A and B are shown apart, each in its own frame.
Chain A
């Protein structure tokens, strides 16, 4: 059997096992066993993928498999991975694994929480392994809808408002997306839904491309927090429970960037070439505006949510620059941002769980009270602002170098503008670190607080290892990604 099927089967089995489980202990063991299996499987997939590539297989996708599903409509269950999807699957598995531990003590309705959580991860994995537009879209929506209940039931603050806003905006995006998918399908002659086959036929008329590229890009862009459709993101993140924030910022927002690259740009290359300037302007605004907004926020989660807007904007920005280097950088940025943000949200959740406030004006001197969490926070912050040695540096470096390869004035100007976000990021990160971790302890109650428990330490350490690992040894990841990017560039820039 194709091992990619396991990425769908394991979550389904987990769902059934969760449904049958009776107490907290069983629920936890199902989650730990399941997410560990997923992680192990994705590590195995990565290693096996690299060794197959080294052995010289050069088909664009490996582990391909196709099964006709709806024969009259040319809908197939087609799966397969290239380097980009392998990297994304690995990222998702890491976040699901650590997310499980981050919600170790979640109350109440633990079982239901994990049911929706697993359904969400099912959608995410399914999305990354799909090569058929229909199944891809199906998994995409499967991943979105659990967010409503995850935020609405287990969230905090204005959770009902945020959950509804997030769901409706993302579903609005997927309405655009469906339109785009239908346009691509019928534009290419309505013979197949398979992404690779459509790309190879390359027969979509330019006029059709001009209509459906903006629609498709916008559809995925909403999830990628494209300005001005990013407003769901800060509210959603702020209200979501910790592990959901992690999964959402860490993985779900990557679906947007991945989809833009894999469907919008890959299948509609001519329009992508001609119309990219519109979206380059929008993403440049995202990058700078997100960073500036983060400066003026006082809620820790809002700061990170806006920082996510900025960083995810950078992903889309880099993709639209359309040079090999910048696109590799974009994928690296997805990985790096996924890990960093997950780490950030995990830490914020842990701090909030103790102090019951996320307002930076009320927090100070946490370094003395909870040194472990504080050090973790500093590491996450430094990675976020792009300190060499961590993943953020590698990603942003590659992106800006790649973007500057575009010789014309427009591309260079926007690159320089986008570069300013690095400085702004440093401002808001260092400000928060200085404010909440150092200084004197103003609130007497905080003195009684404890440092991280074992499950929290485990989560944080796992993520820090990944962030640092990506920063120290980026070459194997970028080798992994390169193959996939090259394949897309045979169509995009022939």
Chain B
């Protein structure tokens, strides 16, 4: 065995090391040392991001082909880790509140184990490993959703999440068993040759989509999303909406192009329907929401639909569009959730759209950041969201899905409407008693500035996309 191979697993190894450090620290740290818990975690995670990013990855199979990595996967892991760092920065105030401060360690360890699960899920080239990764990414998330256990909604959200998660996992496993039955292997590489589009395999594909559809929260597997996002602590909602979704979307794409490549016409039909449904239905529901977290839940479902536009072609440029979209989406969505989180600390309850009325008068900078983030989500230039949406449309158009692109484009106008409703509330709607001026914590301010930089610069600095495009792969 060549041990140097394990260097390519450095994201997993270093994450595991951090996990152990934090776990031990949680056990032994007392008194003022607990005060340093948050900064130490942030530093460790930043260090970890550096390790992930450090240099290009070799293309390599480890464990007789169960684990695979290349530069693209390495980049994606870096992106997900970077997003998690931003998220932990934003979580600072919430973690120090009376109900959660003693559970800080648990939060970090649970969060990191889901991240580890996602790493494994992305890198898996064997369905068993993939399934383990997916479960590792899902189960701790259920605990995180129910983290504010004294809040009624949080517990309810946790139950909803765990039940639907378990159900879809079972369905998916059932699908995988069919695949194993028809091809006689669980390795992606060997399975492809056995895929011939037989009815059983079509059935298996459908069940597989149900499982992934749940993770990415595509319509009609989205029922849990709104309630869970609303009930979960804001940090966790934002984690669910960006990191978890990004990892799952990428995995879906790799499995579709690696395993189900011979069945492309089948999965394109399924994906077509899921995309249209997700974008349209989520948009129509989002219009009616007044609770901001619920609103963001539907917005994230429709964004997931846009991500699927990149998947549907199964080509190289689709993958670069997907990863770029996820990257931009992380910045924009984390900015919005970060702001919701800070406002939540002022209102002490869930934030509704009316709470934002005339926010500009009292908190101009926060409002401006929120506006830019919403514009980026809606795909307004010169912000990064415009570029990522354009690339996604371009890749789907190239694959020949004109009508789909057109439907998606019409939907961007609808989505603009509901994003503008928030902008309108913040700038235009008169309000005698807006939320008074407040200062957010310096950690969340740092993360906001990073998000802002991402939103403004990612589109203009083309080298990010070019770099992603250079290493992406397709069918």
Contacts and interface: CB of A to CB of B under 8 A. Distances in A.
Interface of A: 69-73, 75, 134, 138-139, 141-142, 145, 148-149, 152-153, 159-160, 164, 167-168, 171-172, 175-176, 178-179, 182-183, 185-186, 190
B381 A138 contact: yes
Given A141-B386, A149-B427, 8 more contacts: A71-B462, A72-B317, A72-B469, A142-B380, A148-B423, A167-B416, A168-B417, A182-B397
Nearest to B396: A182
A373 to B, nearest CB: 30
Interface in B379-422: 380-382, 386, 390-391, 393-394, 397-398, 402, 405-406, 409-410, 412-413, 416-417, 420
A182 B394 contact: yes
B424 interface: yes
Contacts of B424: 152, 160, 164
B393 A178 contact: yes
A153 B427 contact: yes
13 contacts: A73-B317, A75-B462, A138-B386, A141-B380, A141-B381, A141-B386, A167-B416, A179-B402, A179-B406, A182-B393, A182-B397, A185-B394, A186-B398
B413 to A, nearest CB: 5
Contacts of B420: 148, 164, 167
Nearest to B408: A175
Interface string B301-328: 0000000000000000100100000000
A92 B386 CA distance: 25
Contact of B417 (A71, A141, A164, A186): A164
Interface of B: 317, 320, 375, 380-382, 386, 390-391, 393-394, 397-398, 402, 405-406, 409-410, 412-413, 416-417, 420, 423-424, 427-428, 462, 465-466, 469
Contacts of A134: 390
Nearest to B361: A109
Nearest to B469: A72
Nearest to A75: B462
A145 B380 contact: yes
Contacts of B412: 171, 175
A164 B419 CA distance: 11
Contact of A178 (B390, B417, B465, B466): B390
B200 to A, nearest CB: 37
Nearest to A73: B394
Instruction: With a 10 A CB-CB cut-off, give which of B375, B398, B424, B428 has the most chain A CB atoms.
Output: B428
Contacts of B320: 72
A139 B402 CA distance: 24
A410 B380 CA distance: 41
A69 B381 CA distance: 15
Nearest to A140: B381
A264 B355 CA distance: 45
Contacts of A185: 394
A152 B420 CA distance: 11
A149 B428 CA distance: 8
Nearest to B417: A168
Contacts of B380: 141-142, 145
B397 to A, nearest CB: 5
Contacts of B413: 168, 171-172, 175
A187 to B, nearest CB: 11
Nearest to B414: A168
Contacts of A178: 390, 393, 409
Nearest to A190: B398
B416 A168 contact: yes
A149 to B, nearest CB: 6
A186 B466 CA distance: 20
Nearest 10 pairs between A and B by C-beta?
Answer: A175-B409, A138-B381, A72-B469, A182-B397, A152-B428, A172-B413, A70-B462, A171-B413, A141-B381, A145-B380
A69 B462 contact: yes
B390 to A, nearest CB: 7
A69 B420 CA distance: 30
Contacts of B393: 178, 182
Contacts of B317: 72-73
Contacts of A168: 413, 416-417
Nearest to A144: B380
Contacts of B428: 152-153, 159-160
A73 B409 contact: no
A285 B412 CA distance: 30
B410 to A, nearest CB: 6
Contacts of B462: 69-71, 75
Given A70-B466, A182-B397, A149 B423 contact: yes
B309 to A, nearest CB: 12
A257 B402 CA distance: 26
Contacts of A145: 375, 380
Nearest to A215: B406
Contacts of B410: 172, 175
A159 B429 CA distance: 11
A191 B445 CA distance: 43
A173 B402 CA distance: 17
Nearest to B410: A175
A185 B416 CA distance: 25
Contacts of A175: 406, 409-410, 412-413
B151 to A, nearest CB: 35
Contacts of A164: 417, 420, 424
Contacts of A171: 412-413, 416
Given A72-B469, A164-B417, A182 B405 contact: yes
Contacts of B465: 70, 72
Nearest to B409: A175
A139 B465 CA distance: 20
A73 to B, nearest CB: 7
Contact of A179 (B398, B405, B427): B405
A43 to B, nearest CB: 27
Instruction: With a 10 A CB-CB cut-off, give which of A71, A160, A182, A190 has the most chain B CB atoms.
Output: A182
A403 B88 CA distance: 66
Instruction: With a 10 A CB-CB cut-off, give which of A164, A175, A176 has the most chain B CB atoms.
Output: A175
A72 B466 contact: yes
B426 to A, nearest CB: 10
A183 B417 CA distance: 26
Contacts of A172: 410, 413
A191 B397 CA distance: 15
B89 to A, nearest CB: 25
B391 A186 contact: no
A30 to B, nearest CB: 18
A160 B430 CA distance: 12
Contacts of B375: 145
A152 B426 CA distance: 11
Contacts of B386: 138, 141
Contact of A142 (B381, B394, B397, B398): B381
A186 B397 CA distance: 8
A82 B423 CA distance: 39
A175 B408 CA distance: 9
A134 B393 CA distance: 13
A396 B398 CA distance: 43
Contacts of B390: 134, 178
A152 to B, nearest CB: 5
B405 A152 contact: no
Instruction: With a 10 A CB-CB cut-off, give which of B380, B391, B469 has the most chain A CB atoms.
Output: B380
Contacts of A186: 397-398
